[in-house]
Structure 1
Amino acid sequence: MLAQAPPHHPSPAAPVVRRLHGYQLLLLVLTAVAQLLAAGVAVVAHGQAEDVIAGLPRTVVAPGTLGGRPRDRSPAADGLIADAMRGQPVWEGTAEVKAVYGDPANGLLLHAVAGWFDWDTDELTYLFYDLRVAGIAVVDIDDVPAGPLGGYAACGHAGGDEEDATVVCAWTDEDSVGTFIWFGSSVEAARAEFIALRGEVEVVKPVSEW
């Protein structure tokens, strides 16, 4: 009987050394940085990002919805704006928005002006005082957190009790001043959504306008 040759196993191929192009190395580095941020460094970077956002040039807009409320463009809404704005001065800003959201009888009124402002908390009270001409005498005005956009903010109420009142919150910073007026709201509910609403109205300008 002929002896069988042992089975032949091919030698393992030598590993292929891949050369990375410059852009591939850059992608790897960026991926590693992103993973580090996700792993915990993002906690530190978050505060720095807020500082950067607060320093960008901003303007004001009247979005199509505000806090989930659709914008009301009816004549009734126009009349509500005209009544509430009777005591307002003529603002010389770069942009001005006036809008009503939700049901005019139980909704939210926005008025905001973009420009160059350098107001403090004392001057913020002028925004409440001007509403007296429109019959909205705001009382119990207290400072509230202004949120990541910075500046100063305060809220108060006019008429009714604190659970069913006309509530006003106002803000001012270097780039804008503005007020929200809730009709038939609680002070607590208005204060709870104030920062989020302001974030929908006061936005970073398009780069072309910087």
Structure 2
Amino acid sequence: MSQPPATPYGPPHDSPTPPQQPGQPQQGVGWTPPQQGFPPAQPGQPYGDPSLPAGPPPAKKSKVGKILLIVLSVVLVLCLGGVAAIWFTIKDDVGEVVDATKTRVTAPATLAGRPKNTDPQLQSAADLMVTEMKSTVQGESSTVGAFYGDPAKQDLIMIAAVSGLLSDPKKELDAFVTGLSTELAVTNMASVEPGPLGGEARCGDGKAEGLALGVCVWADRGSEGMVVMYFKSAEQAKAEFVTIRGQVEQRS
């Protein structure tokens, strides 16, 4: 029996679908060709290009907030401790009185090789220290509060000082140290070489807001001040104290 001729239009509608060849995509209802661009997601993998980052890297936490809290503690020391005492005219040693009246404290452009820090928050904190000293200390001739260095490099110094006539520098320093022990947990305050400007000086280890502090203070007949080295020890602060004090305290 002869076979019917092959139709040029393909198999009739009721003919079975030819078997799928290996490597060919499934045809039929709901099938769409693959899209160009991003590759299809794999099981367990989010959609999108896996080579692209999921989002911006997390920002590093700034230490400025902790530093500002420490400044507030220092302000309490300056206002309630030795610096808040009354300043008296000294009559027992004319030479010392003359030197004391010529003493001024200042913020140099650089401090022991470190540039002045102009961060707005730190500058505001420094201005607060100066304002509090001026409102509390009687008879001051000059005041200073400033920051130097870079906290991101764990190299930051804060200075706070006032000049005027002190009747009893040792007594003033004792009160100052007591305040530091309370507010900044400064311990092991030991006498150190005050340098050519004389008077008395001490350095100790402090810790506040989880930060290590190297703290040095001084008092003479014409000024009283402190140096706080963040992220440092008392030994490290002691090594630079005389240099730093000599750049902050000036006598004309």
TM over 0.5: yes
Separation in 1, partners of 2:249, 2:142: 11
Say which of 167, 180, 188 aligns to 1:118. Answer: 167
Separation in 1, partners of 2:162, 2:128: 18
**Residue 204 of structure 2 aligns with which residue?**
156
Deviations 1:20-79 (A, max 9, x none): xxxxxxxxxxxxxxxxxxxxxxxxxxxxxxx99x94722111001001111112123135
Separation in 1, partners of 2:130, 2:248: 18
Say which of 110, 122, 127 aligns to 1:65. Answer: 110
Separation in 2, partners of 1:66, 1:82: 18
Q: Name the amino acid aligned to 1:71.
A: K
Say which of 184, 189, 193 aligns to 1:145. Answer: 193
Displacement after TM superposition at 1:104 (Å): 4.0
TM score, norm. by length of structure 1? 0.61
Name the count of aligned residue pairs.
150
Residue 202 of structure 2 aligns to a residue in which SS? strand
Q: Name the amino acid aligned to 1:91.
A: V
Q: Name the amino acid aligned to 1:76.
A: Q
**In percent, how many aligned pairs have the same letter?**
33
- Indicate yes or no: 2:210 matched with 1:169: no
Determine if contact 2:181/2:187 at 8 Å carries over to the other structure: no
Separation in 2, partners of 1:78, 1:177: 21
- Indicate yes or no: 2:243 matched with 1:196: yes
Say which structure is richer in helix: 1
C-alpha RMSD of matched pairs (Å): 3.1
Residue 191 of structure 1 aligns to a residue in which SS? helix
Q: Name the amino acid aligned to 1:113.
A: V
- Indicate yes or no: 2:123 matched with 1:78: yes
Residue 231 of structure 2 aligns to a residue in which SS? strand
Residue 185 of structure 1 aligns to a residue in which SS? coil
Separation in 2, partners of 1:82, 1:61: 13
Separation in 2, partners of 1:60, 1:148: 15
Superposition pairs for residues 28-67 of structure 1, below 5 Å? 55=99, 57-67=102-112
Separation in 2, partners of 1:194, 1:119: 22
Q: Name the amino acid aligned to 1:74.
A: D
Q: Which has the larger displacement, 105-114 or 124-133?
A: 124-133
Determine if contact 2:129/2:160 at 8 Å carries over to the other structure: no
Unmatched tracts of structure 2, length 5 or more: 1-94
TM score, norm. by length of structure 2? 0.52
Q: Which has the larger radius of gyration?
A: 2
Displacement after TM superposition at 1:84 (Å): 7.5
Cα distance change on mapping 1:117 and 1:123 into 2, 3 Å: same
Displacement after TM superposition at 1:166 (Å): 0.4
Say which structure is richer in strand: 1
Determine if contact 1:165/1:187 at 8 Å carries over to the other structure: no
Separation in 2, partners of 1:157, 1:84: 22
Cα distance change on mapping 1:120 and 1:113 into 2, 3 Å: closer
Q: Name the amino acid aligned to 1:193.
A: E
